[in-house]
Amino acid sequence: MKYRNLANTGEKLSAIGLGCMGMSFAYGPVDDTESIATLHKALDLGINFWDTADMYGFGGNEKLISQVLVPNRDKIFIATKFGFRLKEDNSGTYFDGSPAYLKTAVEASLKRLKIDTIDLYYAHRIDPSVPVEDMVGAMAELVQQGKVRYLGLSEASPSSIRRAHAVHPITALQSEYSLLTRDVEGEILPLCRELNITFVPYSPLARGLVTATVSNTSELADDDFRRTLPRFHDEHWQNNQNLVKEFADFANTKNSTPAQLALAWVLAQGDDIIPIPGTKKRKYLEENAAAVDIQLTSTDLENIEALLAKYPNVGQRYSDGSMKLVNN
């Protein structure tokens, strides 16, 4: 494994981290035994940057991770997030970025993870009803109390990032970024570089779309949330299948899998970028980890851009409802 610096903290994190959401949430049936084996395999591979959130399995993912985290605490840099809450009637979630809720959320995460300090604590979104200064001010108090080491934001706008950073240094910004989702290249990435904030792409494999492993949406489990995403439907689906086929052919010329090439592309966008592809299976973890050894030439990158330009109708990354929670 290769390692990258986390902002100016001195922390060395694996160039490819591990997104743990799918082990407990959103992507069909869970298999705790395989998930635990995958976490142990991550340690074997030198993947020390693990990402979870209190909403993944509504606490279940943090509890699952704790089984491997606690006996290996010194080997793992753990990130979790707060903010999404379950409605009282269980009909869905809403976001609460208030300082009052934050205080209860962090205690609950610490208890589930069975640790004293969270390495990186993210606000999962920006709450439009709470001044970002108030939220980050309350998060900064957790640092002073020793409950959290570093602060992060997720899916925040340039304005929110600047305002937050003025209150307390923001160490990492987590937002979606992949071959198919490149909004952050306009303002977000340059701002992160200006403020020395590490950028952490989630869904760097476009939720599995660019891996050429999903040939038909009917293969997805009934509760797989990708069934709700525009990219897996109608004209976007056909466009993306054509794109993925050509991308897989190109990956073959590089002696890599489509997933490895997609991750290598993300890694090539800057040394201050640390993607966290999610998986719940050892075989995919090993495949993803090998992407750090793929070197892409300028010609390779140009060829990939040309390929993407041929198939522009990729579709929106979320449903309309979910997009409303992205802080633009």
pLDDT at 232: 75
Q: Tell me, what's the pLDDT at 233?
A: 67
Residue-level pLDDT at 273: 98
56 is catalytic: yes
Which among 3, 27, 56, 150 is annotated as catalytic? 56
198 — alpha (psi -120 to 50), left (phi > 0) or beta? beta
- Helix orientation angle between 60-69 and 99-113, rounded to the nearest 10 degrees: 40
201 alpha carbon, distance to own chain's centre: 5
Rounded to whole angstroms, the Cα distance separating 242 from 203 reads 20
pLDDT value at position 320?
Answer: 57
Q: What is the pLDDT of residues 291-304, one digit of tens each?
A: 999 999 999 999 99
Neighbours of 54 (CB within 10 A): 23
C-alpha to C-alpha distances, 165 to 118, 151, 288, 325, nearest whole angstrom? 19, 10, 32, 21
Predicted structure pTM score:
0.92
Map out the domains of the chain with their CATH numbers.
3-207+263-294 (3.20.20.100)
Give residue 326's pLDDT: 64
What pLDDT does 10 receive? Answer: 97
pLDDT of residue 228: 65
Note the pLDDT of residue 323.
52
Which regions of the chain are under pLDDT 50?
A: none
pLDDT (tens digit, 9 = 90+) per residue, 82-117? 999 988 888 888 999 999 999 999 999 999 999 999
